[in-house]
Amino acid sequence: MAEGCELPCLSPGRIMRPDDANFAGNVHGGIILKMIEEAGAIISTRHCNSQDGEPCVAALARVERTDFLSPVCIGEVANVSAEITYTSRHSVEVQVNVMSENILTGAKKVTNKATLWYVPLSLKNVNKVVEVPPIQYARKEQEEEGKKRYEEQKLDRLETKQRNGDVIFPIINPEPHTVGYSQSSLIHLVGPSDCTLLGFVHGGVTMKLMDEVAGIVAARHCKTNIVTASVDAINFHEKIKKGSVITISGRMTFTSNKSMEIEVFVDADPFVDEARERYRAVSAFFTYVSLSKEGKPLPVPQLLVRALCTGLRASGASPAAAAPGQSPAGSAQHILFPSIIQQKNMRGRASGLVGFAFVIFTPVSIET
């Protein structure tokens, strides 16, 4: 018996259940994201309260881009481990790894490596960020690398904060494989178990709902078994209060031969608190792949580009421009909405086209 050991080596994970998975038995990416975030919240809250000082609760500020390296199945055990890898004065970087384990065969696979940033908020005054106790680094370079990552994410968070929220316009009688055909939205009433001790929604709960909407968009588009392949960096600018209604909306923004990119928006409506209007709380891009019954990647139907709103004139979206044959990208079609153009830019892609697309094809245009 592991004596003298505070938490012996075997701290078992969680068995994946049918309700965690889609009809093909693949665990939803959102379930994994929620587990990752809970682990991050625990370890960073623990760390931030480890010295005498104001009691605080760590709130998720950002998740770096995350890949889903291999699918997790019902009956497998998800083992989550978390470690603090950097601290700035007001934030904590946590590295979370998820390993799936088939306890019948013993096979283990790393499924996710995620990096999350937390900010400690005072338990007494939710608007006050408290100071983070510094961690010790084994090697000097670890601190320097961490500082670099910290500066990079700070810049990205600042930039995304300035963006204005896009709105998903509803489409009546959409054609198959257009954006309007698969776009979906979901409303959720924030309950007590969705929230931290401060009474704000856990970041993991939000990400789980975002993945749910993105998955439905992907499934509606290609009508096959779909799984989350990756999530781009997500910034949590605005807290969401208990009792709010949140609307999570998703639309397909891009397809390649084998993958689909879905943009997801989270809007919060603190409707019992009349002082505040509905606001954009989070937005993110999810990438999905389509799988055959044997789990092999399937080709994805190409996204057809149409004017988004019947009421708006799609000035630049001429039939010729939309013809797949004329697209230099060949198998890929990319819809650029004004706000998406900016977002792509910040995400370091398609930046060369931004001004061009933004000026010429307003409000709806095609990247060629």
| Segment contacting a second copy by CB under 8 A, of 101-109, 127-135, 298-306, 317-325 | 101-109
Phi, psi of 300 (to 5 degrees): -105, 135
Closest CB to a second copy among 311 and 348?
A: 311
| Residues 156, 162 contacting (CB under 8 angstroms) | no
213 binds a second copy (CB under 8 A): yes
Give the residues across from 283 on adjacent strands. Answer: 265
Stretch 168-207 residues interacting with a second copy (CB under 8 A):
169-170, 172, 176, 184-189, 191-193, 197
- List, in order, residues 6 or more apart from 162 with CB less than 8 Å away: none
Closest CB to a second copy among 61 and 82?
A: 82
Stretch 54-83 residues interacting with a second copy (CB under 8 A):
55-57, 74-75, 77, 79-83
14 binds a second copy (CB under 8 A): yes
23 binds a second copy (CB under 8 A): yes
308 binds a second copy (CB under 8 A): no
> Judging by beta carbons within 10 Å of its beta carbon (0-12, 13-18, 19+), is residue 252 exposed, middle or buried?
buried
| 3-state secondary structure labels for all residues of 133-167 | CCCCCCCHHHHHHHHHHHHHHHHHHHHHHHCCCCC
CA dihedral over 222, 312, 278, 231, signed as positive or negative:
positive
Q: For a second copy, which residue of 89, 164, 296, 311 counts as binding (CB under 8 A)?
A: 311
| Residues 314, 308 contacting (CB under 8 angstroms) | yes
Q: For a second copy, which residue of 32, 41, 207, 229 counts as binding (CB under 8 A)?
A: 41
List the structure tokens of 337.
């909405």
Q: For a second copy, which residue of 31, 32, 33, 99 counts as binding (CB under 8 A)?
A: 99
Mark out the alpha helices in 93-228 (DSSP H runs).
140-162, 179-182, 203-222
Stretch 154-173 residues interacting with a second copy (CB under 8 A):
169-170, 172
Q: For a second copy, which residue of 124, 271, 330, 351 counts as binding (CB under 8 A)?
A: 271
In the complex, least distance from residue 195 CB atom to a second copy, rounded to whole angstroms:
8
142 binds a second copy (CB under 8 A): yes
Catalytic (active-site) positions: 22, 211
Q: State the number of binding residues for a second copy (CB under 8 A).
A: 85
